Structure 1
Amino acid sequence: MQVCSSSAPPIRIEESQELQHYVDSVTLGSCLLSRDEWMVAILSVFVKVGAIIALKHVARGKHSLLATLRRMSIYEPFHQISMWGDTFHGDASPNTGSSTIVQVDTRLDNQTEYLSHNSVEPSRSDQEANKPSEKTQRRLAQNREAARKSRLRKKAYVQQLESSRLKLAQLEQELDRARRQGIYTGSTSDGSHFGLSGNINPGITAFEMEYSHWVEEQNRQIYELRNALQKHITDIELRILVENGLNHYNNLFRMKADAAKADVLSLISGMWRTSTERFFQWIGGFRPSELLNILMPQLEPLTEQQLIDVCNLRQSSQQAEDALQQGIDKLQQSLVQIITEDQSSSEIYQSQMVAAAEKLEALESFVNQADHLRQQTMQQMYRVLTTRQAARALLALGEYFHRLRALSSLWAAQHLESA
């Protein structure tokens, strides 16, 4: 007699009380299985369903479990339980009942594996979702690189601040030394005499500081030019260095023009230069014609046209130098004439001093004209020479002034030891 259907209807599993009610209803049925066999079947159902509930509670929670059971046809509405009641009204044999239990167990095993697999898959997908995307990784790498560069910039900025602090301390020492020298001059000179005041013009002090930095930059450029000529770099790169050197001399002429407005006598005296440089000085600088004589041996071999152009440039420079020198000589004669005139009264004396001071203001024009001649000579030489010849000329000029300064240092050191 068939008691249980071979295809078990889906079971609704929600809470333990509902499950117990269902088991009781099944137990009360007229199934022909023995009590022990039926209890084994019920326990098997409990074990399988308990495993399903545990896995789904871990993976997605109670509500997702019910949705999964519904998709697997394990859970259906209550109206399907009536179908189970029909299976207990017919006849059933022990063999068919056992096959039904085995079939239910097999289905539960498959469902348990399916649910277990589904419970693992979300965790893997969650891990993949938690992994940073490729775009995020690139952004993190860019942020790390930006942070590294920021640290390097900060380090360079701190080093620059430290270097600026040292330079500022050096400038303060130089300014303090200049003040002490001015006080000494004022204490040993009569302040009533013209031009012997103990006060120092701030424009000249600023120029002397700028000139010391200019010399440092010139030494650096000489080093670069020497290395460039030894390494045989391209003409384009060499031309950049040459133009930088010419602009550096243009900056010196601009600085001297500002200093001449502040105090042309201090500028033309050359106290901002070394003693050896002052020995060769002409109106606040070098003679352009003598400069050409120094550079000529360093520029060989020259083409015939270059020789002609350089000779013409030297001749025109000498003529301009002679004209400026004649103007300086006339200015000196007029100053001597004004100062040596009759000074019988104080009013005449004061008027003569005012006239002499006005004459001295013409020195600013002479200094500017002499610097303009020097600047034009250098530019004309740059046009005549090739790029490499111009580089050698700038190198020779820089080394010439460097040796003059070195000679002054040697001279001062020798006399200091003898003293």
Structure 2
Amino acid sequence: MSFHRFYQTWFDHLRRLVDQLTQAPRPPTTEEDHHILHQLVHMATSHYAEYYRVKSLAAKHDVFSLFAAPWSTSLERSLHWIAGWRPTTAFHLIYTESSIRFESHVVDILRGLRTGDLGDLSPGQFRRVSELQCDTVREENAITDELSEWQDGSSDILGMCANLDGKIEQLVRILGKADDLRMMTIRKVVDLLTPQQAVEFLIAAAELQFGVRSWGMNQDHQRGNV
């Protein structure tokens, strides 16, 4: 199966997973509810892990096609950081969702009522999110610098064809580091959230992905690109 076909299947499955996440019991009131949330979070993170596993195999076969990403819309490609989403996007998403949910039930929170959702993050959770964001920014910058060095030496490819395989292997490693950071960010964010908050984060992340893709498809259709 080509990566293009895999992506379509994977994306369709993500939609079904989001339907399940949306229907999950929130807030959980029983032990069974907690078990369901844990199971759904595990299923979602495993789905992302499978994506990066297959992507890694595809990169070894043709890394340039992953950067070109013909299965993506023009809008999606314009937002890519090293053939995928920028890991620090996850933190902007958390802050946005937390702010929206806090404002929607600020009166209840001020009365001391706990909602348990992303609008009810504890000071400790905010501190860990901030620390993780700083660590992720440093990792992003280091990988970006590595790609810049690779690009600076790309002129060597034209004059030294014998080194082409080595240059391609280096690009595969850079992409692997970027994808590892993306997956690690998902896992670490989920780990510092409660199961209910993790479900809400995963729903928001997927809905952002769906929205960008839908908007991009509409724009490409209007321009006659599809």
| TM-score past 0.5 threshold | yes
**What's the counterpart of residue 409 of structure 1?**
217
Give the distance between the partners of 1:380 and 1:282, measured in 2 at CA: 20
RCO comparison, higher one (Cα < 8 Å, 6+): 2
1:243 aligns with 2:51: no
Give the distance between the partners of 1:369 and 1:376, measured in 2 at CA: 10
1:392 aligns with 2:200: yes
Distance 1:324 1:415, change over 3 A: same
Deviation at 1:302, TM superposition (A): 1.1
1:212 aligns with 2:8: yes
Give the distance between the partners of 1:291 and 1:386, measured in 2 at CA: 16
Give the distance between the partners of 1:274 and 1:240, measured in 2 at CA: 32
Deviations 1:65-118 (A, max 9, x none): xxxxxxxxxxxxxxxxxxxxxxxxxxxxxxxxxxxxxxxxxxxxxxxxxxxxxx
Work out the number of aligned pairs and report it.
202
Whether the 8 Å contact between 1:268 and 1:367 is mirrored in structure 2 is: no
> Aligned to 2:90, what secondary structure does the other structure show?
helix
Give the distance between the partners of 2:183 and 2:27, measured in 1 at CA: 29
**What's the counterpart of residue 291 of structure 1?**
90
- Alignment-mate amino acid for residue 373 of structure 1: L
Deviations 1:240-278 (A, max 9, x none): 111100000000010100100110111122223222211
**Structure showing greater Rg:** 1
> Aligned to 1:300, what secondary structure does the other structure show?
helix
Identify the match of residue 304 of structure 1 among 87, 109, 123.
123
Identify the match of residue 336 of structure 1 among 138, 143, 155.
155
* Unmatched runs of 5 consecutive residues or more in structure 1: 1-204, 340-348
* Unmatched runs of 5 consecutive residues or more in structure 2: 98-117
Whether the 8 Å contact between 2:66 and 2:83 is mirrored in structure 1 is: yes
Whether the 8 Å contact between 1:295 and 1:397 is mirrored in structure 2 is: no
- Alignment-mate amino acid for residue 123 of structure 2: E
- Alignment-mate amino acid for residue 273 of structure 1: S
> Aligned to 1:361, what secondary structure does the other structure show?
helix
1:226 aligns with 2:52: no
**What's the counterpart of residue 378 of structure 1?**
186
Give the distance between the partners of 2:200 and 2:6, measured in 1 at CA: 26
Q: What RMSD over aligned residues (CA atoms) do the two structures have, in Å?
A: 1.9
Give the distance between the partners of 1:284 and 1:409, measured in 2 at CA: 18
Whether the 8 Å contact between 1:288 and 1:377 is mirrored in structure 2 is: yes
Give the distance between the partners of 1:281 and 1:338, measured in 2 at CA: 24
Give the distance between the partners of 2:154 and 2:223, measured in 1 at CA: 36
Whether the 8 Å contact between 2:3 and 2:55 is mirrored in structure 1 is: yes
- Alignment-mate amino acid for residue 217 of structure 1: H
Identify the match of residue 324 of structure 1 among 143, 152, 164.
143
Give the distance between the partners of 1:231 and 1:329, measured in 2 at CA: 46
Give the distance between the partners of 1:355 and 1:413, measured in 2 at CA: 40
Deviations 1:267-325 (A, max 9, x none): 12222322221111111211111221123222222101101100011000010000000
Percent identity, aligned pairs only, is: 28
Give the distance between the partners of 1:378 and 1:275, measured in 2 at CA: 25
- Alignment-mate amino acid for residue 250 of structure 1: A
Deviation at 1:358, TM superposition (A): 2.4
Give the distance between the partners of 1:271 and 1:292, measured in 2 at CA: 28
Deviation at 1:416, TM superposition (A): 3.8
> Aligned to 1:285, what secondary structure does the other structure show?
coil
Deviation at 1:230, TM superposition (A): 6.1
- Alignment-mate amino acid for residue 215 of structure 1: F
Whether the 8 Å contact between 1:261 and 1:364 is mirrored in structure 2 is: yes
> Aligned to 1:228, what secondary structure does the other structure show?
coil
Q: TM-score, normalised by structure 2?
A: 0.83
Give the distance between the partners of 1:308 and 1:322, measured in 2 at CA: 21
- Alignment-mate amino acid for residue 269 of structure 1: A
